[in-house]
Amino acid sequence: MLETNWKKELLTEQQKVAKDCICPTCGGNASNQTLDCNYCGNENLAFKKDIERITDVLGNLSEEQLKDPFVMISLLKLGEYSSLVSDLSMEDINKEYLSWSETIIDKLISAKELTVVDQEALINLFGNGDFYQNEKASVMQNLVIANTARQAVHYSPELVYGALQQCFCQLIKLNVKEATMEKKKLEEGTAGEAQSYIARIDEKNFDDFMQHGGTFILNTLGHEARHIYQNYKRYHSIVEDRNDLIMFYESIVRSKKPEIYDDNYLNMLVEIDARVYGAIIEQQFLKTMFGVSVESIKREYEADYALLTNHDTMRVIDDKKVHLEEEVLSSLNEDPELYDKWSQFHYEFVKDNGCIRFKTTSELIDDCLYNSDSAKNNLYYALIDNSRKRDMAMESRQQMSSSVTM
Ligand SMILES: [Zn+2]
Ligand SMILES: [Zn+2]
């Protein structure tokens, strides 16, 4: 990736520092005075070693090499720890960074070529998924993506990939700090996929972006970031609204009957939710960077948004149309341990004499009254509404059967 060895070494070491500065015993940060843990005082050997190695790498550089913006970015990323390896103050480093980033932004805006040296410094800035929040960095990242999108300049694939990775981090890292992104050859026709907290972007999707531009890749980033957020909410039993519950039910049914995914692809709420988010991210980028709004994306988004708000739980399962909740109820009675494992079930279902059943409308109303989290009111209203519909359907079934027996 990087042409010179010392840059590779410096990058590796500075990434190690970001990890190792956290005390393995208590999780506290290492002190930039004593190098030991600020909180429990334990000696942090790994961190000391990293600092020694960085000092070595920098010590072997010539005057000229030390002026390379790559070094300045490394120091910037080391933050308070830069004082351990350099005489420059944080103020000096920030000043240098600001003036360098201004010239880069000018070049990016006027679509001028960047030198290899500047591209490599930018690769360091965007990082390899080590999320670095900085206003100028976001501006440069968006300009690199925009210039590639309109094929105004051809940057190195590493730089463009770095910009996309940084963009992905902005979409998800604040919610899910374990999230990572990688480039991989995926099944034909798959633009991206998400598994647990890893987003995979198809190599062809990326190559296509490099060669032909466009903004579809931002849609993919948004789409896969959203799947990661869905996974995060599921793993942590976070339910903010009825859609979170429906998506959770989909995952439960899918784990028992994987074919539900393909049989209902266009109606799966996890996909609709991810498509809506992907479209929003692409559209926002187009608006901010090019001042345009693309009708086709908007139309697609509107159609999906309607599906997102209608709370339809009808799915095709085993060639029959069934409500997801009913399918979940039978799964729960087949496998009652599930009920205790996931608290998401406790909103709509209750264990009653060893048997799991739907909560009654009156039980749901009680839950709503005793609920202290006002953000969840809409969730309860939706559940009560749904339960009433179930009551009505039950009544009309009973009336029908009594009129038949008469
Ligand atoms: Zn400690
Ligand atoms: Zn998807």
Q: Where are the domains of the chain?
A: 1-88
Buried b (16+ CB within 10 A) or exposed e, 381-403: ebbbebbeebeeeeeeeeeeeee
Residue 312 is which amino acid? D
Q: For residue 129, what pLDDT is reported?
A: 65
Ligand 1 midpoint to CA 235 (Å): 29
Instruction: Please tell me the distance between residue 78's alpha carbon and the centre of ligand 1 in angstroms.
Output: 19
Q: pLDDT value at position 178?
A: 93
Tens of pLDDT along 364-401?
A: 999 999 998 989 999 999 999 999 999 998 898 888 88
The first and second tokens of residue 85, run together, are 């390896």
How far does residue 22's CA lie from ligand 1's centre (Å)?
8
For 159-218, write each residue's pLDDT tens digit: 999 999 999 999 998 899 999 999 999 999 999 999 999 999 999 999 999 999 999 999
pTM above 0.75? Answer: yes
pLDDT at 3: 65
Q: Which of 286-295, 297-306, 370-379 has the lowest mean pLDDT?
A: 297-306
Q: What is the 225 CA–ligand 2 centroid distance (Å)?
A: 10
Tokens coding 100: 């360098």
Q: Which ligand is nearest to the CA of 275?
A: 2
Nearest-ligand number for the alpha carbon of 29:
1
Distance 65 CA to ligand 1 centre (A): 36
Task: Give me the DSSP letters along 38-51.
Answer: TTT----HHHHHHH
What is the distance in A from the centroid of ligand 1 to the CA of 127? Answer: 27
| Residue 346: strand pairing partners | none
Average pLDDT over residues 361-365: 97
CA of 115 to the centre of ligand 2 (A): 37
pLDDT at 2 over 80: no
CB neighbour list of residue 179: distance below 8 Å, 6 or more residues apart:
168, 169, 172, 173, 197, 198, 199, 225, 228
- Classified as helix, coil or strand, 134 is coil
CB neighbour class for 321 (10 Å; exposed up to 12, middle 13-18, buried from 19):
exposed
- pLDDT above 90 for 266: no
Question: In sequence order, what DSSP letters do the residues of 142-198 get, joined into one string?
Answer: HHHHHHHHTTSS---HHHHHHHHHHHHHHHHTTT-TT-EEEEE--STT--EEEETTE
Compute, in angstroms, the gap from residue 175 CA to the centroid of ligand 1: 25
Sequence-distant (6+) residues with CB within 8 A of 56 are none
pLDDT on residue 357: 97
Identify whether the C-beta of residue 271 lies closer than 8 Å to the C-beta of residue 254: no
**For 64-117, how does the pLDDT look when each residue is reduced to its tens digit (9 = 90+)?**
999 999 999 999 999 999 999 999 999 999 999 999 999 999 999 999 999 999
Contact indicator for 20, 44 with CB cutoff of 8 Å: yes
pLDDT > 80? residue 148: yes
User: Given this model, what pLDDT does residue 361 score?
Assistant: 96
Residue 11: CB atoms within 10 A of its CB come to 22
- Give which of 284, 278, 298, 191 is closest to 230, Cα–Cα: 278
The span from the CA of 247 to the CA of 96, in Å, is 48
Judged by its nearest atom, the ligand closest to the C-alpha of residue 34 is 1
d(CA 84, ligand 1 centre) in Å: 19
